[in-house]
Amino acid sequence: MTELRYLAPETLDEAVGAFAKAGSAARILAGGTDLLVQMRSGILKPGVIVDIKKIPEMTAIEETADGGFRIGAAVSGMALAEHGKFGKVWPGVLEAVNLIGSKQVQGRASAGGNLCNGSPAGDSVPAMVAAGAIVTIQGPDGRREMKVEDVPAGPGRTHLKPGEILVSFKLPPRPPASSDAYLRMIPRTEMDIAVVGCGVSLTMKDGTVTSARVGLGAVAPTVLLVEDAAKALIGSKLDDAALAKAAAACSAACRPIDDKRGTIAYRTKVAGVLLKRTATIAAQRATQKN
Amino acid sequence: MAKVHVTTTINGEPMEFLCEPNDTMLDALRGPLGLTGSKEGCASGDCGACSITLDDRLVCSCLMLAVESEGHEIRTIEGMAQGDRLHPLQQKFLEMAALQCGICTSGMLVASDALLKKNPDPTEEEVRFWLAGNLCRCTGYDKIVRAVMETAAEMRAQ
């Protein structure tokens, strides 16, 4: 039996110190919905668990002075859903976070854990990429910021350095007539892992898209920011030709695997289909509000 | 391995127990605490048979470390009935035969109770989505969903 120590520090400095000191034997515990399953199945045998939920910054949802949001890395999906304003400003990010697991899992699972778990199919990640979220990371060398799309390094791996802890997501302020959406393809309606996931965030003016970002999940070793798809949408009125061009850009960006959930050909095609549907929903939301 | 001393509140009563650092809340409930109403179905957060609430939020007790309950408030199926008086959901599950083998039942009840506290007037679709994380291999779900809808209607009428 492995000796396991559980630590629940109340400050980030303590957490970083303990995490860095324990080295590769340590694991961060936020919601635990992935970690406990990995421990139970014997894939992981951590020597130290650093529970970050007693650190106020990790579980806080704040509106920033510039009108954006800062979401602590350990904020649960249910806590985010219960926030009065967040889902109105970022409906796509919220629906993506709320697709992770059951209501029971929602009570614990966090966007921070979803990102750090490094799954290419994590539902919240494409929506966060589309939203242009910036993450704050703290480690032995201090604080730094990173674009969310730069965090994943491959399945189960991130670009966080040893001892670094994800602290929060910063979502930018929204111009008028902006919104976002997230759709995923799964063979059932609930409780499954994305075959393809697509997040779109855009801003409209007089029916024309003035800015857009597209995130794609489950079609490559990491979640992708698809700049060519965004370029095809920007300047258009989301007419069929523009949507077809953006869909083709999504399919072109795919480097998927064949597995029991979907074939390469299927994922590649569905990426384009989802882009069209997701962009349409985001545009409807953006124009409804104003 | 040194045992950890945990102080928590379970079904409104202050409790203390000893556990291993890697014990789940479900291990602690069914072991030292002797509360065996919460069931272990999958031990991976898929089946919901171990559902409890943590500070009024529905969670799987198999996906939570027992040490994490320190200073928090846990509610389990054992806290649902008031003495001999069953909770309306429990009564309705019996009346409408919303259970067969019973393994999923405590999780179904805890999850349904959490739903009705949050939303006293759910649609059938909302009930089905809410209970998507509670698996039942006997009933086919219809009787469970109907019992929850019926209980909600009766509780609203009172």
* Domain range list for chain B: 4-79, 88-157
Residues of A in contact with B111 (CB under 8 A): 103-104
- Interface contact flag, A41 B44, Cβ < 8 Å: yes
Q: What per-residue confidence (pLDDT) applies to A2?
A: 57
Q: Residue A171 contacts by C-beta under 8 Å, 6 or more apart in sequence?
A: A68, A69, A70, A71, A90, A93, A131, A132, A133
The CATH homologous superfamily of the domain defined by A178-288: CO dehydrogenase flavoprotein, C-terminal domain (3.30.390.50)
- Interface contact flag, B65 A4, Cβ < 8 Å: no
The CATH homologous superfamily of the domain defined by B88-157: [2Fe-2S]-binding domain (1.10.150.120)
Q: Which amino acid, B136?
A: C
> How confident is residue B2, by pLDDT bands cut at 50, 70 and 90?
confident
Closest partner CB to A37 (pick from B45, B65, B114)? B45
Q: Which pLDDT tens digit goes with each residue over A29-58?
A: 999 999 999 999 999 999 999 999 999 999
- Interface contact flag, B62 A102, Cβ < 8 Å: no
| Residue of chain A whose alpha carbon sits nearest to that of B5 | A6
Q: Compute the average pLDDT of residues A205-222.
A: 97
B45 touching A (Cβ < 8 Å)? yes
Q: Are A99 and A107 in contact (CB under 8 A)?
A: no
Closest partner CB to A107 (pick from B57, B70, B129)? B57
A249 touching B (Cβ < 8 Å)? no
Q: What per-residue confidence (pLDDT) applies to A290?
A: 47
Decide if pLDDT at B45 tops 60. yes
- Interface contact flag, A102 B134, Cβ < 8 Å: yes
| Residue of chain A whose alpha carbon sits nearest to that of B50 | A104
Share of chain B above pLDDT 70, in %: 99
Q: What per-residue confidence (pLDDT) applies to A1?
A: 47
Decide if pLDDT at B133 tops 70. yes
Q: Which pLDDT tens digit goes with each residue over A172-183?
A: 999 999 999 999
| Residue of chain A whose alpha carbon sits nearest to that of B111 | A104
Q: Going by CATH, does the domain composed of B4-79 fall within 3.10.20.30?
A: yes
Other residues' Cβ atoms within 10 Å of the Cβ of residue A226:
27
* Residue environment code for B77-113, b if the CB has 16+ CB neighbours within 10 A, otherwise e: bbbbeeeeeebbbbebbeebebbeeebbbbbbbbbbb
* Candidate CATH numbers 3.40.50.300, 1.20.910.10, 3.90.1280.10, 3.30.43.10; the one for domain A1-51: 3.30.43.10
Q: What per-residue confidence (pLDDT) applies to A187?
A: 86
- Interface contact flag, B63 A108, Cβ < 8 Å: yes
Q: Compute the average pLDDT of residues A162-167.
A: 97
H/E run at residue B127? helix B124-130
> How far apart are the CA of A10 and the nearest CA of chain B, in angstroms?
14
Q: Are A71 and A168 in contact (CB under 8 A)?
A: yes
Q: What per-residue confidence (pLDDT) applies to A36?
A: 97
pTM above 0.90, yes or no: yes
DSSP A151: S
Any idea which residue has 């860095």 for tokens?
Answer: A20
Decide if pLDDT at A94 tops 80. yes
* Residue B6 φ/ψ, nearest 5 degrees: -120, 135
B135 touching A (Cβ < 8 Å)? no
Q: What is the DSSP string of A200-253?
A: EEEEEETTEEEEEEEEEESSSSS-EE-HHHHHHHTTS---HHHHHHHHHHHHHH
Closest partner CB to A103 (pick from B44, B64, B133)? B133
> How far apart are the CA of A190 and the nearest CA of chain B, in angstroms?
7
Domain ranges of chain A: 1-51, 178-288
**What residues does B52 pair with on adjacent strands?**
B59
- Interface contact flag, A32 B68, Cβ < 8 Å: yes
